[in-house]
Amino acid sequence: MPWRYARHSAEHALPIGASEHAAVGQTVRAGDVLAAGATHGIAIRVAGARRIGVAVDDVARVMRVPVGAEVERGQILARTGRRFARAATAPVDGRLIHLRTDGDFEVAPIVGKWVVRSTLDGSVTRADDAVVAVEGEAWCLQGAAGYGPDAVGEIALAMDGPAGELVPNRIDTRMAGRILVGGARSAAEAITRAHACGVGAVVAGAVPAVGLRAVYGPETTARSSEASLDVPTVLCLIGFGATSLPVALYEPLAAMGGLRAAVHSATARLFVFAPPAEPFGRDEPSFVLASDWSTVRPVEEHMAMSTATRFPSEFVADALAAPDGAVPVANVRRFDAPREVLA
């Protein structure tokens, strides 16, 4: 089945500079902060032991702030003496990131702050400076590729049917914070407008490759991209180009309007938080590759085996009889079949 209710695990990679993170065993909900930190600029060396006139081993004893603390410009880092005091001060607003073996300090300006939020309701199973993993139960739909940061919000439908396209004039600020189901195809114009209107994420059957490169850069590939805080979140369910959502995907998505959901971009998964008794599970859909190799379409009709067929390329292969002609068996794949993509 494309939709599965089970216990899932999601790993959330942390950027460099984490100052705090959740503890193992802690209970969290989707959207809760798992970790927070800051991005630092180039560190500035500040004279320490030599300036305040103490031995290197005694610097820690006279420090006024601990390593890792945020400091303001002019704040005293270490000080000796009373009447004729000698002090080392912070040259900029930032963080005291290091005490060197020669007794000097390193202060780095803070150029940005970040938070990482959970994409599952559950408990923390791993927590360190690199990854925070959460395990919990939810409905899950595995997509083809995810782009942008993780997103959490309520599902909102923005299409008229399984073949509908997400168009920019259907997106406004009332959809801010929502996970927008964008239909069979979402162009770059619709994705950028959704991001400008504060939409949490766009979930679409397919997105044209040229549109993805226009939004995320020319190096974008068919693989999920690394998370970045200043770009839209997009989940491609089926592939790239244009397609039509099969009934097994469209009808559950249409019934999920208003439910809490989350997109885990690194693994291209959509989590929906609803009771396990909901009738979202459907038969596994199949897809057939178009004759021009430009897209795929769902197989909603019955396809019977045909005899060995000679195709225009002079290639002879087993085929399935479709209403619009014979289709090579190798061009028909299940939705959950392993997907191999080139970088």
How large is the average pLDDT for residues 199-205? 89
99-103, 217-221, 268-272: which range is least confident on average?
217-221
**What is the pLDDT confidence band of residue 57, given thresholds at 50, 70 and 90?**
very high
Q: Which of 315, 317, 154, 147 is nearest to 219 (CA)?
A: 147
> Taking 60 as the threshold, does the pLDDT of residue 340 lie above it?
no
**Taking residues 327-336, what's their average pLDDT?**
65
pLDDT at 260: 95
Q: What is the mean pLDDT of residues 157-170?
A: 80
Question: Which of the two residues, 209 and 265, has the higher pLDDT score?
Answer: 265
- C-alpha closest to that of 35 among 94, 135, 126, 116: 116
Quickly state the pLDDT bin for 341 (edges 50, 70, 90). Answer: very low
What pLDDT score was predicted for residue 342? 39
pLDDT at site 8: 95
Which residues pair with residue 38 across a beta bridge? 113
Determine which helix (DSSP H) or strand (DSSP E) holds 50, and give its type and residue range. Answer: helix 49-52
Average pLDDT, rounded, for the chain: 84
pTM, to two decimals: 0.77
The residue with tokens 């800051």 is: 38
Please state the rounded mean pLDDT for residues 246-264: 87
CA distance 241 to 6: 31
Q: In the chain, what are the domains? A: 3-37+115-272 (3.50.30.10), 42-108 (2.40.50), 286-334 (no CATH)
Res 128: pLDDT: 92
- For 308, phi then psi, to 5°, come to -55, 130
> Nearest-CA neighbor of 133 among 322, 278, 319, 7?
7
- pLDDT score at 34: 95
Q: Rounded to 5 degrees, what angle do the CA atoms 159, 336, 253 make?
A: 25
Residue 151 has pLDDT above 90, yes or no: yes
Query: 334 or 184: whose pLDDT is higher?
Result: 184
Residue range 223-243: mean pLDDT, rounded: 75
Quickly state the pLDDT bin for 66 (edges 50, 70, 90).
very high
CA distance 127 to 147: 24
Q: What is the CB neighbour count within 10 angstroms for residue 282? A: 16
